[in-house]
Every structure is written in C-alpha cells, then in structure tokens.
Structure 1
Amino acid sequence: MSENSKIEWTDHTFNPWEGCQKVGPGCDHCYAEARNARFSGGMAANWGQGAPRRRTSEANWKQPLRWNAQPYVECMACRWRGERRECAVVQNPAGFDAPVDQACVCPRCGEPTIQEARQRVFCASLADVFDNAVPDAWRADLFDLIWKTPHLDWLLLTKRIGNVGQVITRALELAGRGINTPWPWSNVWLGATIVNQEEANRDIPKLLITPARVRFLSMEPLLGPVDLERPMPGPDLDQGSGAKICQPWMIQSGINWVIVGGESGHGARPMHPEWARSLRDQCAAAGVPFLFKQWGEWTPGENVERHAGIVKTADWFGGEWMVGESDLASDGGHIDDEPDLYRVGKKEAGRHLDGRTHDEFPEAR
C-alpha cells in the first residue's frame, strides 16, 4: 500500500485508506477500482456511493516516518534519486569542487555529483484524500502524520478540489492543533486532476483560491485540448482581472507545475499529440515546469519501433476518434505519421514527446 513508486513524478506512494467514487470522465477506467475488485472477489467492495472505505494497516502508516528519518539525495548528472546510504563514499576526487575530503558516488552513473533532496510522496493513488465518504478522524490522523514528517513533500492530488478548504479545517481541528495552525504548510503540495476544458474552467479557479505552497495540475488522462491561458471566471481570481492561469503573476496565485499523460489499461482512450504539445508550449511560454508522464496505450508513429503486424489506429476527425486497423506487414513494418495514433501498449509507446523526455519539477517552497 506504500512503496517506492514507479510513478515518474514521485518517490513514494502512500495510501492511508482505499476506496472512492467516480466523479467525472477521467474516472471511467479507474485502475484503482479494478485493483480493488481483483482483491475483493470480483466486486469493488470499497467503491461507489455508500461503500465503506478501508483503512490500511498500522505498519503501512509507519512507512512515512521511516522515509522521513532517512537522508535523501539526487544525482545531478543522471537524476537518480534514493537514500543516501545507497551511495558509496570515496575520497574526494581531484578537481571536484566540494568543501569536504569525501564525496558520495551515484550508484547508477558513478559520478560524485550527489546533492541533498527532498522526498516526494504521492497521496493517494487508491483513494481521494478529500472524499466526503472518508471519516474525518482518518484525515486528522493523516494530517498529523504529515505534520510529523517535515522532510517529506506530500503531493495531495484530488478530483474534489472544492472540498479541500473545509476538509483541511476540520482535519486540523480534530488533529489537536486548532484552526489557528499556520496554513499552508511548507511540505504540502496541492494538485487537481484536469482532463478537459470543462474541468479546467470549473476546478482551476477553486485550486487558485485554496492556500498552498505549491499548486499543480495532473492532466491525465488528457481527453481533449485545454487552453490554460483562457481567462477563467470568478471574482476571486486576481481581483477579477482574468489573469492567465499558467502565468506566474503571483506565486500564491498561479499554477506551479503541470503533469500531462495519456490513458493506459483496458479501454484506454487516445490522447492527440497536439493536445500535449499545446500544453508543453503554454507552460514554456509562462515559465511553468512541465512533466510529460506517458503516452499511455496510444502513441504517434514516430515513437513506434519498426515491426510488422496488425495494430489499432486512431484518427481525430470531426471532434471524435475514428478507430481502425493497420497491417504494418504490408508496408514492410514501416510506421509514418498517418494515422494520428497507433495502439502499441504503454511500454512501447514510451514517454518521448517530439523526440525527448520532459521531466521538469517545481522548487519546494
């Protein structure tokens, strides 16, 4: 339930409880619901209205305390991240600029370019922290744990951004520190899931008026084009001026990070390359870190290795996807940029957007 995560934008995943309810199109093919059903005899026992949420074990709840106690580092050469004790310690090489006689060597690339780093914890991958069906006492315990782990940056991602303010207030009251506890906490990053323009218009304004040291968007699965520069409605946004969402016009009023990804798993829907490119370019223009997580099941031809066989294809036409098939054997295994996308599976689709990876992160505040 908690682990060194394979998710590209976090170091650990922590699930204080399991269970949720679908609230939008991004939930249609929920991997967490499918997992819950697999471990519950074929029916998702902790999913849906009225279903009980399941709190995880005490041993699981102790994991973040262990992470917090371990010094964490990052290699500036290859971007490996891990516990400092995983690095070899050698005499400081000649010419290496360091204030000490010893240097830590990266276990991946062997370079002595190790620096201290803060660990990122995604909470929660199998639930929603701000789900109304979760007992307030459980959330109070979670915020108490966050308070006790100041060396961890907690990434709280939600599809219920409108619940956050009142839920945090209740949690802090129950946790014993009262409503006068200084908020936002420096180790809490607050994120909203956005899959299309409708959700952007509805939920980004709610995120912007919620106090947080770091605000981010998880745009996965991306199901349509999204214009983050479109003026958003609401008198609470920059005194009603309609300032651009991605523009860093005020640290406390902007989006600090954007994650984009396509859908994976059974029934995965395609993500058009232009949707991802547009968000990349919007972020670059605004100086906002951009992370491209994955293509998912579908990818453009430039990312497909030469092979023969019949694969599904997808073309965006008239505002909807037209799905067909292509026999690559008839073209000698050649892949070109038509049609828009090929379904080759998450692993082969990879993470390259226009020939490169995008792994930008915001600074911890």
Structure 2
Amino acid sequence: MGLNSAIEWCDSSFSPWTGCQKVSPGCDHCYAEAWAERYKFCGWGPHAERRFSGGKTWSAIRRWSPLVDGHRRRIFSAELADIFDNKAHPIWRSQFFDLVRETPQFDWLILTKRPENMARMLPSDWGSGYPNVWLGVTAEDQPHYDRRWPILAATPAPVRFVSYEPALGPLSIARHETKPDWLIAGCESGRGARPSDEDWFRAIRDECLETGTAFFLKQVMRNRRKVSTPELDGRQWTQWP
C-alpha cells in the first residue's frame, strides 16, 4: 500500500481501512489475509473489526504527483480491504469518497467482490459516475462473472472493468450484451496456488479483441515460477481502456 505499487496494472494503492472476509473461492488464498496474519495489522473474517488507516496515510495522497510516465496516476483501492464491505464503517466510506472528489487529478480504481452492495453504498451524488473513478469486479470463473458482472454493467461509471484473477476456470464475456471496458487476467500465485490454463487466457484475449475490451495479462505460472506481464503468442498484453 503506497505511492509505488508492485501491482502491474496500477501505479499506487491505498486502503482507507484494512480487514475483510472471504466471500468466494477466489478468496481462498488471499494475500491480504496472509499479510494481516503475518504483520498483525488488522483482524480478518466476519467477526473481526476493520482498522482505519489513519490520517497521515490519507493526507500523504494529496501530495502525490498527478502524472506517472505521462498518464494520470492510477490508484487501486482497496488492496487490503473492500470498499463495499458491510463491516466497514459508513463514515470511513464517506470520508473515502470525499477524498476521491478532492483529488480529481487521480484515477481511482475500485475493485470489489461485493457489487450487490454498490447501489446503497455509492455516494448520493454518484449520478452517472465520478469522472475519476473506475469500478471493477473480480470474477474468478464463469459463475462468478455471470453473477457479478450484470450488477456492475447496470452501474454507471466511466470505466467498468473485470479482474479475472485468480483464474480458476474458463471465462467468456460473450453471453452478456454489455461488455467490460477492460479485463485483467492472471493466475493464482503463492503457496497452494491452483493452476490456470493458458488456453483460458488465449480464449478471453480473443473475445476481448473481438469486442473492443482492453486486455491486460498480469501473470502466468511457467516452470513453477510466476512470470509477470508475460508474452502470450509472441507479445505482451498490457492494454488500457
């Protein structure tokens, strides 16, 4: 969490609070939960209290440079939480969206596994969406895409995206009329990682090319090693919407 993120598809990351709980198979090997257990910075699970990140963390963001390599700074939120978590304090969420409004120089990338909560948790002035907020859902396989994507597709935002990571099964975006603006794909990594098939990534890449969805291949496992932004069929796939 901070100014320079190791996550390939963003520049920075910010968690206004920390803590979450598992809601689907994609959460089984959650890196954020592992970090929480290792460093004891928050509790995890349905009965654990979420922990506010603190004023210094929030105020530092306003001093970040607005551009990175010529593009608007992309900030992923929340790496160690979910903005639409029922256990998060509503005041914290309100303060987070205040910060988003006060920093129009940044693009905020909000990724959730709880799109069913968005309608009642987005701010009252959301309207057709904030121009500097991209909304995304995680879909680890087809059933979760079919459940989560239609909710996001019905929610106004300038950019709507899908994180197909960890990829736990094949995925097609063809059956839904509205398509994502951007799709990030990647395998699971770390201890106990479940395998992905690179043919899944080829298939979804081809669908993205056909539909005009920007495609970003974040990582694959090759020879038991994680390869970041790998080549697939002779080139890297790091497209942006």
Provide the TM-score with structure 1 as the length reference. Answer: 0.64
Q: Which residue of 2 is the match for residue 20 of structure 1?
A: 20
Counterparts of residues 320-335 of structure 1 (less than 5 Å)? none
After superposition, give the CA deviation of every residue in 1:153-212 in whole Å (9 maximum; x if it has no partner): 0000000011111011xxx3xxxxxx3564411000000000101001111111111111
Is 1:60 matched with 2:14?
A: no
Cα 1:45–1:72 shift into 2, 3 Å: closer
Quick check: 1:2–1:63 contact (8 Å CA) kept in 2?
Answer: no
Q: Which residue of 2 is the match for residue 286 of structure 1?
A: 211
Once the two structures are TM-superposed, the CA of residue 71 in structure 1 deviates from its matched residue by 4.5
User: C-alpha separation between the residues in 1 aligned to 2:128 and 2:229?
Assistant: 39
User: C-alpha separation between the residues in 1 aligned to 2:126 and 2:197?
Assistant: 44
Quick check: 1:222–1:260 contact (8 Å CA) kept in 2?
Answer: yes
3-state SS in 2 of match to 1:47: coil
User: C-alpha separation between the residues in 2 aligned to 1:9 and 1:350?
Assistant: 10
User: C-alpha separation between the residues in 2 aligned to 1:219 and 1:181?
Assistant: 26
Q: Which residue of 2 is the match for residue 193 of structure 1?
A: 138
Counterpart amino acid of residue 195 in structure 1: E
1:268 to 182, 193, 198: 193
Q: Which blocks of at least 5 consecutive residues in structure 1 are unaligned?
A: 74-80, 82-115, 173-178, 232-242, 247-254, 300-341
Cα 1:180–1:10 shift into 2, 3 Å: closer
Quick check: 2:229–2:238 contact (8 Å CA) kept in 1?
Answer: no
Cα 1:265–1:124 shift into 2, 3 Å: same
After superposition, give the CA deviation of every residue in 1:210-252 in whole Å (9 maximum; x if it has no partner): 1111100000001111111024xxxxxxxxxxx2x43xxxxxx
User: What percentage of aligned pairs have identical amino acids?
Assistant: 46
Q: Which residue of 1 is the match for residue 48 of structure 2?
A: 51
User: C-alpha separation between the residues in 2 aligned to 1:30 and 1:71?
Assistant: 30
Length, aligned pairs only:
241
User: C-alpha separation between the residues in 2 aligned to 1:355 and 1:270?
Assistant: 22
Cα 1:62–1:45 shift into 2, 3 Å: closer
Cα 1:139–1:180 shift into 2, 3 Å: closer
3-state SS in 1 of match to 2:144: helix
Cα 1:127–1:180 shift into 2, 3 Å: closer
Q: Which residue of 2 is the match for residue 150 of structure 1?
A: 104
Counterpart amino acid of residue 11 in structure 2: D
Counterpart amino acid of residue 163 in structure 2: S
Quick check: 2:141–2:171 contact (8 Å CA) kept in 1?
Answer: yes
2:121 to 167, 176, 190: 167
Counterpart amino acid of residue 7 in structure 1: I
Q: CA RMSD in A?
A: 1.6
Is 1:277 matched with 2:182?
A: no
User: C-alpha separation between the residues in 1 aligned to 2:237 and 2:193?
Assistant: 22
Cα 1:12–1:45 shift into 2, 3 Å: closer
User: C-alpha separation between the residues in 1 aligned to 2:125 and 2:55?
Assistant: 29
Once the two structures are TM-superposed, the CA of residue 354 in structure 1 deviates from its matched residue by 2.1
User: C-alpha separation between the residues in 1 aligned to 2:75 and 2:232?
Assistant: 26
Counterpart amino acid of residue 187 in structure 2: G
Counterpart amino acid of residue 58 in structure 2: W
Q: Which residue of 2 is the match for residue 234 of structure 1?
A: none
